[in-house]
Amino acid sequence: MLDPMLSVAENQEIERLRAALEDAELRLQARDKDAQESKRRYSERLFFAAFDEGPEPMALTRLRDGLIVDVNQEWLLLTRYSRDEVIGRTTVEIKHWPSPADRAAAMALLIAKGRLRDHEVTMVMKGGAHRLTRMNSTLINVLGESHVL
């Protein structure tokens, strides 16, 4: 907007400064966006490292059907499964629970309490060996869907 009280040169200088300010604001917004993305990537790497290298067996499964989303190294050592054998399959499908009813009972208790601590369950390892374990689980929301950690 031109100010009739100012000279043409002064109006041009104001427009140049406004354009420079807008450019600086856009660069700051881009820098903020880059910083947020960097923090997000760092958080993801940190979570993955803590999950995958954690000292306890851990699995992330979808609550509604037991689909195995991820497992850590300790879970693989305990169960003797490979990652390729379990990711994308359900815990019932790989027969990790003695029966679907056993899983349903544990999940009902988890839903009622919100988390389980030292809950004894029998799990079936690769090859069919039954093993009494202590289940520590909590419900988490991942992209609007309940999962069991």
At 13-65, the pLDDT tens digits run 888 888 888 888 888 888 888 888 888 899 888 988 888 889 999 999 999 99
The answer to whether the Cα torsion of 66, 72, 73, 77 is positive or negative is negative
Q: How high is the pLDDT of residue 34?
A: 81
CA 141, 39, 28: angle at the middle one, nearest 5? 125
Q: Which amino acid is at 89?
A: R
Residue 137: CB atoms within 10 A of its CB come to 21
Indicate if the pLDDT at residue 3 is higher than 80: no
Q: What 8-state DSSP symbol labels residue 70?
A: E
Residues 74-99 as b/e (b if ≥16 CB within 10 A, e otherwise) read bbbebbebeeeebeeebbbebebbee
Indicate if the pLDDT at residue 110 is higher than 90: yes
Average pLDDT value for residue range 113-127: 95
CB 80 within 8 A of CB 125: yes
Phi, psi of 69 (to 5 degrees): -90, -45
